[in-house]
Structure 1
C-alpha cells in the first residue's frame, strides 16, 4: 500500500524544474518565489542587526560570483561541477546562503561541513569531496588551516565569512572583499543548461553519518532541493493562509551545514519571503533576546533547546516571547511529556514536529499548525509517496499502528552516495513501481483526531545516535576506539541525556595493555582518545562500561538491542529514566 498526503494538502503547483540552477530558482520570481521587493530581508544577524534586502542580497551574489570566477578560475559554462567544488566550514552567518548561490551561479558544488568537526574530520571531507577552495570563519580558522594544509589547499584559496565580534584583520580575503572586487569585474555569461541538467547535476555534497565507517558524501541535485522547497512551502501554505500569516520572522539558529537548517530554514523560508534571524550558536540569553527583539513568530529548534527553555523558566520570564506562535522541532523526536510541559508554560504556542533525512533532502512529513497530533511527525508532503514494510519479510504493511521500515519515493530523494556504489545500492532500491529509499527508520501510520494520517517514528533501525541535532554513527566510534591499546572489542549505544537528548556510551572489552590498571584510569584514557580526535558531540558522555564480551549474531553483527536492554535494566534499578 502506498501512502500519500492527506486530502487537504494541495498538489504541487508546478513540476519541479530541471533546467535551472538553485540560484536562478531562488533569485527570480518565475517559479513561485515571493516577490523580491515585498519580501522581508532574507537574513538578519541576531547579534549585530546587520542585514540586506532581498534585492541587495541578489546583487551581492552576482558580485561575489564574479570575484570567485576570477580568483578560482571557475567559468560558468566550462568544465564540470566536479571541477568547482567549494567547502564551507563556518558557523551560521547572513552570508551563508548567498555564498551558496554564488557558487551555484558558476555551476559549482558546495560541500558544507559541520562547525563541530575536528581538523581530521574536515580533512576527510575536503579530501573526499575534492574541494578546490575553503570558506571559513575566524572562530574556526585554526582548525580550517590544519585541514586545508593536509590536503594542499593553498592560502590564496581560503576565504573568511565575517562574524559579529570576530577579528576583521587577517591575511585572508573576506566575502565583503570579494563583493567589492566583483563590482568592477565584467558580468558573467548566463548558464547554458539543457533539459534534465538540474536533476542530474550535484548542487551540494552533504555528509551523512550513516551506520558504518566515516561520514558518506550525499549527492544532492539542484532539482532535489528545488523540489523539497516547493513541497514544504506548498504543504505549509494552507495552515498559514488559515491563520492569516503572509510573511513572518523565523529563527535561524540550527546549523545551516545540517540539511534541516539548510533546506527548511534557510532556503524554504526565504523562498516564501520570510526573514531569518541568524544566530551562530545556542546561548540561552542571546536566543531569548533575539526572540524578543525581532518578534520571532516561528522557532525552528531541536529537542535539547526545548529542554533548556523548560529548565530555565526564571530567566525566560524576563523576556517577552509573546510573538512566538509555532515551536517546530526536527532532527530527533520530541516526547509527548515534553510537549505537555511546553503547553503548560506557553499555552498559546503550537508545537509540531517533522521528519526527514539528508538522503531525502529534506522533509518527508511535517506537521500543519491546524492538524497537530502530539508525538507524530505530521503528514506526508505533496509529491512524496511512502510504503511501510516488514523489515524481516519485506511484506508491505497496510494497516494503521503496525510498525515497519519506512520507504520513501519522491522528487527530493537524492542521487546517491559519492564513490560508494555499495551503500547507494543498499539504500536506494528499485522496485516494480520505481526507485525508493530505505530510510532505516521504523514507523507507524496512525489517524489523528482530524482523521488524517500521520507518521510516528518508533525506532531507528539504522542505530544512529542523535546528539543535539548531530548524527553519530556508533560504528565510526567503535572503529576509533579499537585503535586504543586498552580496547580489545567494543560496542557503542545511545543513552538518554537531559541536555543533549542522547549521548554515546561505550561497552568495552579490555585489551592486554589494560591489565593491572584501575578501571577509572582505563575509562579516562579511552574517553580522552575520543576527545582528542573527534568532534564534541561524538565524545563518550554516557560513560564507559567494561564487559566480558560484546554480544554478536552468528554473522558477527553487534546486537545493540541486548546492550540497550542491559542499560535499561541498570537504569531502572537505579530509578533512572531511559
Structure 2
C-alpha cells in the first residue's frame, strides 16, 4: 500500500533537471520569488549585518572568480569530484554564498559539523578527498590538525569572518586568506563562463556531501545532487503554500536559523527553501538562551526552527522568557528528533497562539518528507507527506503493510532522495532499492482528527542515538572503546535524557589488565571518548560493567535486550524518563 499526500494538496510543479543550485537561488527565471521584493536573505542575529539579494548575487560572482583562479577550477572542465571543498564552519551569513560560489564552478561543498574533533574532521577530509578547507578562527586549531593529517597544505585553508560580538578580540592570523579578501580579489578578475548543462545534469551532479552515521562503521558521505535540493525546496514551498496567507501584497516571514548550517535540516529548509520564497533568515552561530530570546524580540521573528532539547530549555526558563517580547512568533517547527506529545502540549499551554509543527526527514532524503500544517496539527505526529512523496511500510519479513496503526519500516520515494553513499556501494545497495529509500525507521500511519493520514515515528530500527538532534552510531563508539586496553568487549545504547533527548551509555566487559578500581576505569574510558570524539558522542549516560555482552549466535549485539534491561532498571529506580 502506497501512502500519498492529502488529496487537497496541490500537485508538485515541474522540477528542473538542468539547473545548478546557485542559478536556482539567484535567477528569477527558475521560479524563485522576485529578488527585488524579497527580504534580505541572511541577517546576522548578533551584529545585525545583512546583505540584499543583489549583494549576495555579486558576492557569489566575485567569489567564484577568485576560487577559479585560486584553485584552477572551471565550470565546464573536469567533474565535480575534481573540485571538492570542505566547509568546517559555525553559522554565518556568508556560508551560503560560499556554497553557491563552489556550485557556480560545478564543485562540491562538504559541510562538516563544527563540533567535530580533529580525528572526525580528518576522516571527512580524507573520505571526501577535499583539496581546500574553509573554517573560522574559533575552529582553526582543530582545522589545522585535521588538514595536516589529511594532506591539505596551509595555503589551501581559508577563514570566514564571524561577528565581533562572537569572537571578541580574536584576530584572523595574517597568513590565511579570508573570504572577504577573496571576494575583493574577484572584483578585478574576469567573469567565469556560465555552466553549460544539458537535460539531466542536475540529477546526476553532486552538490553537497553531508555525513550521516549508519548502522555500522564510520559516518557515510551522502551524495546530494543539485536537483535533490531544488526538489525539496519546491516541495516545501508547495506544501506550505497550502496554509500561508494569500494577499495582494507580498507576504513574508522572518525565520530563525540557529541550527547548524552543516546539518541537512538547516541546510535545505532554512537556507534554501525559506529564502527561495522570499523570506528573511536570522542567523545565530550557536544557542544561548538570552541571545536566542533577544533575537526574537529584536528582529520580530515569526517562525522558530528548533529541536526538542531547545524546546525543553524554553520550558525550564519560563520566567526568563516573560522578560522578552515574543509576540511576533506565530509558529515553531521542530525536527531532527521526535517531539513527544506531552512536551508539545506543555508548550501549547504556555503559548496557545503558536502553531506547534513537527516534521520528519533524513540526510538521505535531503530533507523533509512529511510535516504538519498550521491547520492540521496532531501532537506527536510528524504530519502529512509533502507533494511528490510516496511512502510504504514494510514488515520485518518484507511484506507490505496494508492497514493503519500497524508499524513497519518506513520506505520513501521522492525526487529529493539522494544519489547514494560516497565510496560505499554496499550500503548504497542496502538503503536505496528499486527507486525507494529504506529509512531504517519504524513508523505507523494513522488517520487524524481531520481525516488526513499522519505519520508517527515509533522506533529506530537502525538504532542510531540522537543527541540534541545529532546522530551517534553505537557501532562507531563501540569500535573506539575496543581500542582501549581496559575494554575487552562493549555495547552502546541510547538512554533517555531530559535535556538532550538521548545520550550514549556504554556497557563494558573489563579486560584482564583492568586491575584498578571501577571509578578509575570508568573515568579512563570516558576520557578516551572525550579526547577523540565530538561532545555529543560523549558517554553522558554513563558506563556500566557486565560479565558478558549479550549477542546472537551470529555475533550480533542484542542491543534491544540491553535497552529492555535498562528500561526496567530505570523503572525500579523511580525514573520518569
**Normalised by the size of structure 2, how large is the TM-score?**
0.98
Q: How far did 1:241 drift?
A: 2.8
Query: Paired residues, what number?
Result: 571
Q: Deviations over 1:76-131 (max 9, x none)?
A: 11111001000000000000111100000000000000000000111000001010
Are the aligned partners of 1:205 and 1:219 in contact in 2 as well (CA < 8 Å)?
Answer: yes
The equivalent of 2:562 in structure 1 is: 563
Q: How does 1:376-415 map to 2 (within 5 A)?
A: 376-391=381-396, 393-415=397-419
Corresponding residue of 1:467: 467
Quick one: distance in 1 between partners of 2:561 and 2:151? Answer: 45
Secondary structure of the equivalent of 1:257?
coil
Partner of 1:550: 549
Please state how far the C-alpha of 1:193 moved relative to its aligned partner. 1.0
Query: How far off its partner does 1:242 sit?
Result: 6.3
Partner of 2:320: 315
Residue 43 of structure 1 aligns with which residue?
42
Asked whether 1:248 is paired with 2:253, we answer yes
The answer for the alignment partner of 1:5 in structure 2 is: 5
* Correspondences of 1:51-200 after superposition (within 5 Å): 51-165=50-164, 166=167, 167-170=170-173, 171-200=175-204
2:293 equivalent among 288, 294, 299: 288
**After the TM superposition, which residues 8-23 of structure 1 pair with which residues of structure 2 at under 5 Å, given as runs?**
8-14=8-14, 16-23=15-22
Structure 1 residue 344, shift from structure 2 partner:
1.3
Distance, in Å, in 2 between the alignment partners of 1:209 and 1:137 is 25
Match of 1:204 in 2: 208
Question: For residues 201-280 of structure 1, what are the structure 2 equivalents within 5 Å?
Answer: 201-241=205-245, 246-280=251-285
CA distance in structure 2 between the aligned counterparts of 1:20 and 1:352, rounded to whole angstroms: 31
- 1:242-278 CA distances to partner (integer Å, 9 max, x unpaired)? 6998211000100010000100111110101111100
**1:271-291 Cα deviation digits (max 9, x unpaired):** 011111000000000000001
**Deviant stretches of 4+, over 3 Å:** 242-245
Contact 1:343–1:349 (8 Å) recurs in 2: yes
| Secondary structure at the counterpart of residue 176 of structure 1 | helix
- Cα distance in structure 2, aligned partners of 1:83 and 1:361: 23
Secondary structure at 1:238 match in 2: coil
CA distance in 2: counterparts of 1:96 and 1:576, whole angstroms: 43
Kindly state the Cα deviation for residue 168 of structure 1 after the two structures are TM-superposed: 4.0
Mapped partners of 1:401, 1:55: distance in 2: 50
How far is 1:469 from its partner? 1.5
Contact 1:428–1:438 (CA under 8 A) maintained in structure 2: yes
Q: In structure 1, what is the Cα distance between the partners aligned to 2:247 and 2:35?
A: 23
Report the secondary structure of 2:513's partner residue: helix
For 1:8 and 1:243, the matched residues in 2 are separated by 20
- 1:533 maps to which residue? 532
Which of 155-164 and 473-482 deviates more?
A: 155-164
User: In the alignment, what sits opposite 2:484?
Assistant: 484
Deviation of 1:31 (Å): 2.2
Q: Distance in 2 between matches of 1:187 and 1:421?
A: 38
CA separation of 1:481/1:169 partners in 2, compared to 1, >3 Å: closer, same or farther? closer
Taking the aligned partners of 2:30 and 2:378, their CA distance within structure 1 comes to: 32
Is 2:380–2:456's contact at 8 Å kept on the other side of the alignment?
yes
3-state DSSP of counterpart to 1:514: coil
Native 8 Å contact 1:162 1:168 kept in 2: no
Matches within 5 A, 1:422-501: 422-430=426-434, 435-501=435-501
Aligned Cα root-mean-square deviation (Å): 1.1
Q: Tell me the secondary structure at the aligned position of residue 242 of structure 2.
A: helix
Give the alignment partner of residue 297 of structure 1, picking from 298, 302, 305: 302
Counterpart secondary structure, 1:408: strand
C-alpha contact (below 8 Å) 1:464/1:473 kept by paired residues: yes
Q: 1:98 to 1:305 in 2, by over 3 A?
A: same
User: Deviations for 1:351-380, whole angstroms, at most 9, x for unmatched residues?
Assistant: 010000000110111111111111000111
| 8 A contact 2:370–2:382 mirrored in 1 | yes
- For residues 252 and 413 of structure 1, the distance between their equivalents in structure 2, rounded to whole angstroms, comes to 23
Cα gap change, 1:185 to 1:242, in 2 (>3 Å): closer
1:353 counterpart (333, 358, 361)? 358
Paired with 2:7 and 2:172, the residues of 1 have a C-alpha distance of 56
TM-score where L is the length of structure 1: 0.98
| 2:378 corresponding residue in structure 1 | 373
Which deviations, in whole Å up to 9, do the C-alpha atoms of 1:443-502 show, x marking residues without a partner? 000111110001000000000100112100000000000001111111100011111111
Q: Secondary structure at the match of 1:490?
A: strand
Q: Give a deviation string over 1:488-531, Cα, whole Å, max 9, x none.
A: 1111000111111110000111111113x211111110000000
Where does the alignment leave 5 or more consecutive residues of structure 1 unmatched?
none
Farther off after superposition, 275-284 or 546-555: 546-555
Query: Take 2:566 and 2:322, find their aligned partners in 1: how far apart are those partners?
Result: 37
